[in-house]
Structure 1
Amino acid sequence: MKIVVFGATGGTGRETVAQALAAGHDVTAVVRRPDALQPHPGLRIALVPDLNDAELVDDALVGCDAVISALGTNAKGPVSVCTDGVRSILGAMTRTGVRRLVVVSAHGAAESHDGSLYSRMLWAMLGDKMRDKDEMEKLIRASTADWTIVRPPALKNKPHTGTYRAGTDLRIGLTSAISRADLADFLLREATAATPAHLHQTPRIRN
Structure 2
Amino acid sequence: MTVAVLGATGATGRHVVSTALERGHHVIAPVRRAGTFAPREGLDEVIWPEVTDVPALTRVLPGTSVVISALGGAGNGPTTVCTEGIRSAVTAMKAAGVARLIAVSAHGVLETHDKSLYSVAVWANVADRMRDKETMEPLITTSGLDWTIVRPPKLSDHDGIGKYRAGTDLRIRLWSAIGRADLAAFLVDEAETPQYTHAYPRITR
TM-score (structure 1 length as normaliser): 0.96
Give the Cα–Cα distance (whole angstroms) in 1 for the partners of residues 130 and 180 of structure 2: 19
What SS does the aligned partner of 2:148 have? strand
Give the equivalent residue in structure 2 for 1:206. 204
Is residue 63 from structure 1 mapped to residue 28 from structure 2 by the alignment?
Answer: no
Q: Is the 8 A contact 1:67 1:101 kept in 2?
A: yes
Give the equivalent residue in structure 1 for 2:24. 24
Give the equivalent residue in structure 1 for 2:111. 111
1:55 maps to a residue whose letter is: P
Q: Is the 8 A contact 1:66 1:192 kept in 2?
A: no
Hey, which bits of structure 1, 4+ residues long, moved more than 4 A?
Answer: none
Alignment of 1:1-207 (within 5 A): 1-193=1-193, 196-207=194-205
1:56 maps to a residue whose letter is: A
Q: Any gaps of 5 or more consecutive residues in structure 1? A: none
RMSD: 0.9
Percent identity over the alignment is: 52
Q: Is the 8 A contact 2:93 2:99 kept in 1?
A: yes
Q: Deviations over 1:151-184 (max 9, x none)?
A: 1111111222221100011011111110100000
Deviation at 1:51, TM superposition (A): 2.1
What SS does the aligned partner of 2:50 have? coil
Give the Cα–Cα distance (whole angstroms) in 1 for the partners of residues 178 and 155 of structure 2: 5
- Aligned residues, how many? 205
Q: Any gaps of 5 or more consecutive residues in structure 2? A: none
1:84 maps to a residue whose letter is: E
Give the Cα–Cα distance (whole angstroms) in 2 for the partners of residues 36 and 110 of structure 1: 34
